[in-house]
Amino acid sequence: MRFLWLVLLPGLAQAAVPDGRMIALHGNDQGALPCAACHGVNGGGNAAIGAPALAGLPAPVIVAALSRFAHGQGGNAMMQGIAHALSPDEMQAVAAYFSGLKAPGA
Ligand code: HEC
């Protein structure tokens, strides 16, 4: 039986710690669209569609915005739906990822 745990545990550990970069580039399996599609692969934003830059923002600022959107406050319908599809852990992970990217023009 013990060998079974050796096979299963790494998979569980991965599910427990979301990968912010994966979410940014590929979204999640709950319907969150890839952030990069609108906010840019480098997080620099896209003025043409009104998506602000996320790169270099403090992670708590990003998390706070996502939590507000998830509760239907602020943002647009698209962002609200995406935020709603993220778990709190996923919000933290994706916020940490964008926060760690170089701010545009910096
Ligand atoms: C379909 C395009 C689209 C996708 C995909 C998208 N966003 Fe957005 N996002 C926007 C737009 C447009 C705004 C501006 C909304 C507004 O202020 O009305 C925004 C706003 C935000 C803000 C607020 C930033 C600020 O400074 O006010 C955050 C944080 C954010 N998005 C994070 C994310 C994350 C994280 C993801 C991926 C999980 C994501 N977005 C995916 C279009 C998108």
Distance 26 CA to ligand 1 centre (A): 15
Burial class (CB in 10 A: 0-12, 13-18, 19+), 69: buried
* CB of 62 closer than 8 Å to CB of 99: yes
- Is the per-residue pLDDT at 35 higher than 60? yes
The residue whose CA has the least distance to atom 19 of ligand 1 is 51
Average pLDDT over residues 89-102: 97
Residues touching ligand 1 (Cβ under 6 Å) are 23, 32-33, 35, 37-39, 49-52, 54, 62, 65-66, 75-76, 78-79, 82, 86, 94
Indicate the pLDDT class of residue 103, thresholds 50, 70 and 90: confident
11: exposed, middle or buried (Cβ count in 10 Å: 0-12, 13-18, 19+): exposed
* The two structure tokens encoding residue 21: 């970069």
Rounded CA-CA distance 6/89 in Å is: 25
Q: Is the pLDDT score of 53 beyond 60?
A: yes
Residues written for the chain: 106
